[in-house]
Amino acid sequence: VLDHCSLNVAPGEIVAIQGPSGGGKTTVLRLLLGQLRAGTGQVLIGDHAIDTLDLAAWRERVAWMGQHPRLMADTLAANLRVARADASDAELVEALTFAGLQSWFAALPDGLATRLGEGGRPMSGGQLRRLALARVKLRRADVLLLDEPTASLDPDTEAAIVERIGELARGKTTVLLTHRPAPLRLAHRVFHLSHGKLEAAT
């Protein structure tokens, strides 16, 4: 999938990777999470090969925002606490407000106890993406891995999400995958990945 790719991301740097679907972008993130192992070469976290780390401890340092956020058939509180089990109710509400869901939340019949998903209250694609953003806000992470965080959003919603991601990414090491131009303004460096080759964007 990847062919002699080499990438060094400095602490606190925001790196964006563009490229066509199937080009290997998500594979990069899965390697960084330790979900996949490189057949050749290695992934280093600091000076340590990822294979030598306690993966559970490493993943506690990471906030992941996927292209297709998962909505569980459970309460709103439970859907948020997948990000941090010990988060207080006040922290959950703060995260919802940060993500721009305060009006939606205020209209819920049972507040944080409102059931979502199958058999409960549905969420639109934009609302679900904001819920995923609230989860990232709740994480005590110093590394952000963001896989197409604004895919399929209208321009206004995308602009709001990009602004919030910029706040969350400040001072954090971030790898951002995107097809879209709006998130690229957050990046310190931009790369293009196609046919397994990673090159600096011109």
Q: Label residue 122 by pLDDT band (50, 70, 90).
A: very high
pLDDT at 20: 85
pLDDT at 4: 86
Please list the residues that pair with 58 across neighbouring strands: none
Structure token pair of residue 126: 């934009």
pTM of the model: 0.93
Which comes out higher in pLDDT, residue 40 or 174? 174
Angle at 176 between CA 13 and CA 34, to 5 degrees: 90
Residue 193 phi, psi (nearest 5):
-120, 120
pLDDT over threshold 90, residue 51 = yes
CB neighbours (10 Å) of residue 3? 9
3-state secondary structure at position 150: coil
Residue 103 phi, psi (nearest 5):
-65, -45
Residue 189 phi, psi (nearest 5):
-140, 150
Residue bearing tokens 């952000």: 144
Per the CB < 8 A criterion, the answer to whether 162 and 133 are in contact is: no
Structure token pair of residue 65: 């925002």
pLDDT at 15: 98
